[in-house]
Amino acid sequence: MDAISLSIGDELVLGQTVDTNSAWLSAQLAAVGIGVAAHLTVGDDQSAIEQAIRQAAPRCDILLISGGLGPTEDDLTRQALAAVMGQPLELNEEWLTELENFFALRTRNMPPSNRIQAMIPRGARMIFNTAGTAAGIEATLPIVESVSVSPRPRVPASSSSVRIFVVPGVPKEMKIMFQRDVLPYLRDAAGGAVILSRTLHTFGLGESAIAEKIGDLMRRGHNPSVGTTVSNGVVSLRVNARFKSLREATERLDETVAACRAALGSLIYGQDDQALQQVVGAMLKSSTGASVATAESCTGGLLAKMLTDIPGSSTYFSFGWVTYANRAKEELLGVSPELLQQHGAVSKPVVLAMATGARVRAASTFALSISGIAGPDGGTPAKPVGTVWIALAGPDGAEARTFIFPGDREFIRDRSAKMALTLLRYKLLGEEVPF
């Protein structure tokens, strides 16, 4: 059973608003086992909407249309649907009464333009709106040959109609209506198939290196499917299991996730909504009394900011220094002027001294320090932009590593802070960093 999401709105095709409805609806559909074949977006233009409905209808079993149900002249979804159905718009008395009550309750007269919001195509069913003035519409559109515009319709010959649901474009109204009046029908119609998903996050290796380690699990057609995505340096594996029963989906998902974990080991730092700083924070919390301090140059506070993104981080984080100037490194962390003079601020001896100085002053278990060249200026042939030294001081002494991060200033700062967290994570795991 396949669905298509059709979003209507000039603000969408003009790029003034990001369409979040399609993603939300798709996730809802996936959760009941309905695949989404495509998202389609057109502006507030009746012929464009008609064409989009004609195009989409033969390619799906469920067509979800959002937007274009407002009271103004540029809201044309109901007119377009009526035209495609070959039916006139009719006044729905029940919804008109609701509308009039809505305005009466607010001691306002209903503007005449709102009357259109109670019109639906003849033969369609009105969907109640508990959060706004636009009624939704449910309709069944027969698929006849002349409507099918594709040389390869996706729908098997046995399917002779598409179920259409029209919901408001305002996310809040849309979500309430969808969950109350559309989802129950879809859950029944889907007849059982279940899609379960899990996402596993890694940081440190590139997408292709991760994919190679996963190997055969990523082959096309494998169910559960395994795919990679990259976001801000985090390479994630998305595992999607699609099965008839919840039990089978759960078991097979767990099995594939276990296989991914076996292949990647500690490269996986967390799953689903877990952020790196959250995982590291939880590890610090669970290792009783452990704490970390930060001493940052090029990241300018980003590492401390990440650590304190997490509520309750005061348990393990108390002290941070942003020593952006050499003088600050000397005065606040006790880095010797000779060291700075001899090796430069972006060097192994200096990050080691920063981390050690921070650890002593904070009286913390660990301290992380970062010094690098975030650019765009300041690079040299020996130390190009992107060169970053990171040190970790702990009970067993201090160690430092250097990295060359590609990308712009924001990218380099972000990767530096994440790499610092990663070094601490491996230290807490008691494992060698595998890259």
Of residues 397 through 416, those in contact with a copy of itself by CB under 8 A are 404, 406-411
Q: Is 203 in the site for a copy of itself (CB under 8 A)?
A: no
Report the C-alpha dihedral over residues 166, 170, 174, 176, rounded to 10 degrees: -150
| Pairing mode, strands 35-42 and 2-8 | parallel
CB under 8 A: which stretch of 70-78, 183-191, 263-271, 391-399 binds a copy of itself? Answer: 70-78
Report the chain's terminal Cα–Cα distance, integer Å.
44
Binding to a copy of itself (CB under 8 A) within 105-134 occurs at: 105-106, 111, 113-114, 131
CB under 8 A: which stretch of 2-10, 80-88, 244-252, 254-262 binds a copy of itself? Answer: 2-10
State whether residue 2 is helix, strand or coil: strand
Taking the least distance from each CB to a copy of itself, the nearer of 44 and 181 is 44
Binding to a copy of itself (CB under 8 A) within 209-228 occurs at: 209, 211-212, 218-220, 225, 227-228
Smallest separation, CB 317 to a copy of itself (Å): 6
Beta bridge partners of 296: 322, 370
CA distance 342 to 406: 27
State whether residue 7 is helix, strand or coil: strand
1, 51, 259, 402: residue in contact with a copy of itself (rule CB under 8 A): 51
Q: Is 299 in the site for a copy of itself (CB under 8 A)?
A: yes
Helices (H), 41-86: 46-56, 77-85
Binding to a copy of itself (CB under 8 A) within 273-292 occurs at: none
Please name the residues in contact with 246: beta carbons below 8 A apart, sequence gap of 6 or more: 194, 196
* Number of residues counted as binding a copy of itself (CB under 8 A): 117
Taking the least distance from each CB to a copy of itself, the nearer of 4 and 392 is 4
Site string for a copy of itself, 172-201 (x = CB under 8 A): x------------------------x-x--
Taking the least distance from each CB to a copy of itself, the nearer of 313 and 356 is 313
Smallest separation, CB 184 to a copy of itself (Å): 19
Taking the least distance from each CB to a copy of itself, the nearer of 125 and 213 is 213
Of 43, 48, 117, the closest CA to residue 78 belongs to 117
Taking the least distance from each CB to a copy of itself, the nearer of 72 and 122 is 72
The DSSP 8-state label assigned to residue 347 in this structure reads S
32, 34, 42, 393: residue in contact with a copy of itself (rule CB under 8 A): 42
Of 429, 224, 393, 219, the closest CA to residue 319 belongs to 393
Helix (H) or strand (E) holding 25: helix 21-31
CB under 8 A: which stretch of 32-40, 90-98, 256-264, 426-434 binds a copy of itself? Answer: 32-40
Smallest separation, CB 430 to a copy of itself (Å): 26
| Pairing mode, strands 366-372 and 292-296 | parallel
Q: Is 396 in the site for a copy of itself (CB under 8 A)?
A: no
Q: Are 156 and 6 in contact (CB under 8 A)?
A: no
- Reading the block at residue 396, the tokens are 């067993």
Taking the least distance from each CB to a copy of itself, the nearer of 26 and 266 is 26
Q: Is 23 in the site for a copy of itself (CB under 8 A)?
A: yes
Residue 408, class by beta-carbon neighbours within 10 Å (0-12 exposed, 13-18 middle, 19+ buried)?
middle
CB under 8 A: which stretch of 135-143, 246-254, 294-302, 333-341 binds a copy of itself? Answer: 294-302
Query: Listing from the earlier edge strand, what are the strands of the sheet with 387-394?
Result: 292-296, 366-372, 387-394, 397-404
Q: What is the largest CA-CA distance in the chain?
A: 86
Binding to a copy of itself (CB under 8 A) within 314-373 occurs at: 314, 317-325, 327-328, 331-332, 361-362
CA distance 349 to 337: 12
| Cα 143–Cα 146–Cα 150 angle in degrees, nearest 5 | 80
CA distance 355 to 294: 7
Binding to a copy of itself (CB under 8 A) within 364-383 occurs at: 374-377
Site string for a copy of itself, 227-246 (x = CB under 8 A): xxxx-------x-x------
Q: Is 387 in the site for a copy of itself (CB under 8 A)?
A: no
Taking the least distance from each CB to a copy of itself, the nearer of 173 and 181 is 173
